[in-house]
Amino acid sequence: MDTFISFRSISELRILSALLFLFMFCSSLRLTEAYDSLDPNGNITIKWDIMQWTADGYVAVVTIFNYQQYRHIQAPGWTLGWTWAKKEVIWTMMGGQTTEQGDCSRFKGNTPHCCKKDPTVVDLLPGTPYNQQIANCCKGGVINSWVQDPATTVSSFQVSVGQAGTTNKTVRVPKNFTLKAPGPGYTCGVAKIVKPSKFISQDGRRTTQALMTWNVTCTYSQFLAQKTPTCCVSLSSFYNNTIVSCPTCACGCQNNITEPGSCVEGDSPYLASAINGPGKNSFTPLVQCTSHMCPIRVHWHVKLNYKEYWRVKVTITNFNYRMNYTQWNLVIQHPNFDNLTQVFSFNYKPLTPYAAINDTAMLWGIKYYNDLLMAAGPYGNVQSELLFRKDSSTFSFEKGWAFPRRIYFNGDNCVMPPPDAYPWLPNASPVLRSPFTLSLTILWTILAHLLLN
Ligand SMILES: *[C@@H]1O[C@H](CO)[C@@H](O)[C@H](O)[C@H]1NC(C)=O
Ligand SMILES: *[C@@H]1O[C@H](CO)[C@@H](O)[C@H](O)[C@H]1NC(C)=O
Ligand SMILES: *[C@@H]1O[C@H](CO)[C@@H](O)[C@H](O)[C@H]1NC(C)=O
Ligand SMILES: *[C@@H]1O[C@H](CO)[C@@H](O)[C@H](O)[C@H]1NC(C)=O
Ligand SMILES: *[C@@H]1O[C@H](CO)[C@@H](O)[C@H](O)[C@H]1NC(C)=O
Ligand SMILES: *[C@@H]1O[C@H](CO)[C@@H](O)[C@H](O)[C@H]1NC(C)=O
Ligand SMILES: *[C@@H]1O[C@H](CO)[C@@H](O)[C@H](O)[C@H]1NC(C)=O
Ligand SMILES: *[C@@H]1O[C@H](CO)[C@@H](O)[C@H](O)[C@H]1NC(C)=O
Ligand SMILES: *[C@@H]1O[C@H](CO)[C@@H](O)[C@H](O)[C@H]1NC(C)=O
């Protein structure tokens, strides 16, 4: 028996390492290509519509469209930059502003809004006077994800550009677009002149069109956004009292020798001064000291087993003292999502990039109830329960089947515990084969997704 098991394990090990190699190969490809298999077409498109020629340039409406299923832009909002192709200046703006005016000393009388070669634009805040607004402006740069609210996935501002071309032959498109949302992570392509946009009047009886239009597409890569992960997953179950915590050092290691102040204890008397200390306005999180050092932890607890159903409790905990997460979202992959029966106190929508597979759910908070995940502390968590109907052909508490395959928080992949650490069913013999078969199952799931791309 013993020899049989070890034999089996060795051959499985071989398959496993081959698969692991393939998987790592594929995932490294994905990292460099910034390709997201759960949102293959996700991008942010920036469109410039020239609405009017002026004596020395043009007036354009610039619109940012978020075409990503589950990635949003939260406060303090987007920052858009570009480099002018010639000596353009911005005379005036509506619904947005540049962060710096730059050197306008060569102008007498009328002073431009911005003379920089590489202007940086931000949205205006809510409450801006009506005479400085345009449609879809002035939301502090916050843009929702497509699934959470398609109506608020757009942001616009208007620029009046001088010292520019005044015909579609002489205008030069700006170069080198950069988008921060609000931190790094997006890469923008070159502006492409496209067919002029058409606008339909409110009564639907007249169509007008832009004089000239160009588009820029920006895509996200978690790899560019931050060097370390920002989120981890912990697991527990009613059938085993082991709590599998987040992997140690999942998002960094606690190290007050080389990096004093890399984290802060929840009961520290210096907490308040640390929160307002250096780095307050950077996007570096100030995390509570934990073994994982992650700003966000997602806990999946297999809570109850009924005859025809089973129930899971999901808790998101914020360990970041410097961030209230507004309009947060979770994306979870589990094979039982095709039989999800009820979601308590979160919004739910299935994500099905490959029509045949319905195993991925997007969950987000209910407006004014739990759509705000408060900074670390007593209120820094949100939770929900999921009720699944058992499908007898697939359902099992064995081999870690009841645990999620992948979790994203706000579009960033969360670090999972190693499969061989998952809680076991008490009567499952802890032979080597359960963890290996489990990792095989997980690898197959991932591979199936990759192959289907
Ligand atoms: C951007 O996303 C939209 C909507 O999903 C899609 O139609 C368009 O082709 C995408 N653009 C690029 C360049 O991928
Ligand atoms: C510029 O305008 C002319 C007509 O005025 C049109 O034929 C031409 O296609 C336009 N070129 C571009 C790049 O939009
Ligand atoms: C584009 O922007 C980046 C960063 O702002 C800068 O380093 C680079 O020199 C710019 N390239 C051009 C051609 O302006
Ligand atoms: C340019 O972007 C707009 C807004 O997303 C879109 O409607 C249009 O189809 C795009 N044009 C091209 C050629 O991609
Ligand atoms: C690091 O900080 C923790 C908590 O602030 C403290 O308990 C521990 O003794 C410190 N370790 C060192 C080596 O200073
Ligand atoms: C989070 O929100 C609370 C309540 O609105 C506020 O008191 C706190 O300062 C905010 N924290 C951060 C880091 O923005
Ligand atoms: C996926 O399964 C869920 C739960 O049964 C169902 O509500 C949803 O409509 C399904 N989605 C698709 C695209 O089949
Ligand atoms: C689970 O969902 C699948 C696909 O939607 C369906 O064929 C099957 O009948 C469902 N099982 C149960 C037990 O509802
Ligand atoms: C619970 O699962 C752990 C693995 O995480 C295992 O070591 C332990 O033996 C299990 N407990 C029981 C009672 O089976």
Does residue 356 lie within any of the structural domains? yes
Q: Of the ranges 71-85, 98-112, 245-259, 307-321, which one carries the lowest mean pLDDT score? A: 245-259
Does residue 278 lie within any of the structural domains? no
Q: Are strands 231-237 and 296-305 parallel, antiparallel or unpaired?
A: parallel
Q: Of the ranges 97-111, 154-168, 268-282, which one carries the lowest mean pLDDT score? A: 268-282
Answer whether 212 contacts ligand 2 (Cβ < 6 A).
yes
The closest-lying atom of ligand 7 relative to the alpha carbon of residue 338 is: 2
Answer whether 255 contacts ligand 5 (Cβ < 6 A).
no
Does residue 167 lie within any of the structural domains? yes
What pLDDT does residue 257 have? Answer: 66
Nearest CA to ligand 2 atom 9: 168
Whether 254 and 183 map to the same domain: the answer is no
Whether 64 and 106 map to the same domain: the answer is yes
Q: Is the pLDDT of residue 47 over 60?
A: yes
Whether 171 and 258 map to the same domain: the answer is no
Domain range for 397: 229-266+284-452
From the CA of 255, the nearest ligand is 5
The residues, ordered by sequence, that sit 6+ positions from 412 with a Cβ below 8 Å of its Cβ are: 222, 225, 229, 230, 231
Whether 137 and 171 map to the same domain: the answer is yes
Residue 292 CA to ligand 9 centre (angstroms): 21
The residues, ordered by sequence, that sit 6+ positions from 367 with a Cβ below 8 Å of its Cβ are: none
Q: Report the chain's mean pLDDT, rounded to a whole number.
A: 86
Q: Is the pLDDT of residue 35 over 80?
A: no
Do 79 and 166 touch, CB atoms closer than 8 A?
A: no
Whether 147 and 246 map to the same domain: the answer is no
Pocket test for ligand 2, best of 168, 195, 197 (most atoms within 8 A of CB): 168
Averaged pLDDT for residues 327-351? 95
Do 157 and 122 touch, CB atoms closer than 8 A?
A: no
Q: Is the pLDDT of residue 246 over 60?
A: yes
- Dump the DSSP string for 254-293: --TTTSTTSEE-TT-TTHHHHHTSTTTTSS---EEP-SS-
Residue 336 CA to ligand 8 centre (angstroms): 9
Residue 360 CA to ligand 1 centre (angstroms): 21
Q: Is the pLDDT of residue 451 over 60?
A: no
Q: Is the pLDDT of residue 78 over 60?
A: yes
Whether 239 and 177 map to the same domain: the answer is no
Answer whether 356 contacts ligand 5 (Cβ < 6 A).
no
**What DSSP state is assigned to residue 71?**
-
Whether 407 and 437 map to the same domain: the answer is yes
Whether 154 and 247 map to the same domain: the answer is no
Does residue 33 lie within any of the structural domains? no
301-323 burial code (b ≥16 CB/10 A, e <16): bbbeeeeeebbbbbebbbbbbbb
Q: Is the pLDDT of residue 453 over 60?
A: no
Q: Is the pLDDT of residue 438 over 70?
A: no
Taking phi over 0 as left and psi of -120 to 50 as alpha, with beta for the rest, 156 belongs to beta
Model pTM score: 0.83
Does residue 370 lie within any of the structural domains? yes
Q: What is the CATH number of the domain that holds 382?
A: 2.60.40.290
Do 311 and 388 touch, CB atoms closer than 8 A?
A: yes
pLDDT band, residue 13 (cuts 50/70/90): very low
Does residue 38 lie within any of the structural domains? no
Q: Report the percent of the chain where pLDDT is more than 70.
A: 85
Does residue 272 lie within any of the structural domains? no
Report pLDDT digits (tens) over 357-396. Answer: 899 999 999 999 999 999 998 999 999 999 999 998 889 8
Whether 300 and 360 map to the same domain: the answer is yes
Q: Is the pLDDT of residue 1 over 60?
A: no
The closest-lying atom of ligand 3 relative to the alpha carbon of residue 176 is: 1
What dihedral do alpha carbons 434, 438, 439, 442 form, nearest 10°?
180
What pLDDT does residue 409 have? Answer: 96
Report pLDDT digits (tens) over 293-309. Answer: 999 999 999 999 999 99
Whether 92 and 172 map to the same domain: the answer is yes
pLDDT band, residue 258 (cuts 50/70/90): low
Beta bridge partners of 216: 46
Averaged pLDDT for residues 2-19? 45
**Whole-angstrom Cα distance, residue 264 to residue 277?**
12
What pLDDT does residue 424 have? Answer: 83
Pocket test for ligand 5, best of 255, 256, 270 (most atoms within 8 A of CB): 256
Residue 72 CA to ligand 3 centre (angstroms): 25
Q: Is the pLDDT of residue 288 over 90?
A: yes
Report pLDDT digits (tens) over 388-422. Answer: 999 988 898 988 899 999 999 999 999 999 988 88
Whether 49 and 173 map to the same domain: the answer is yes
Whether 211 and 289 map to the same domain: the answer is no
Domain final position from 224, 253, 275: 224
Does residue 14 lie within any of the structural domains? no
From the CA of 291, the nearest ligand is 5
Averaged pLDDT for residues 100-129? 96
Report pLDDT digits (tens) over 80-108. Answer: 999 999 999 999 999 999 999 999 999 99
For the chain, the domain total comes to 2
What pLDDT does residue 25 have? Answer: 41
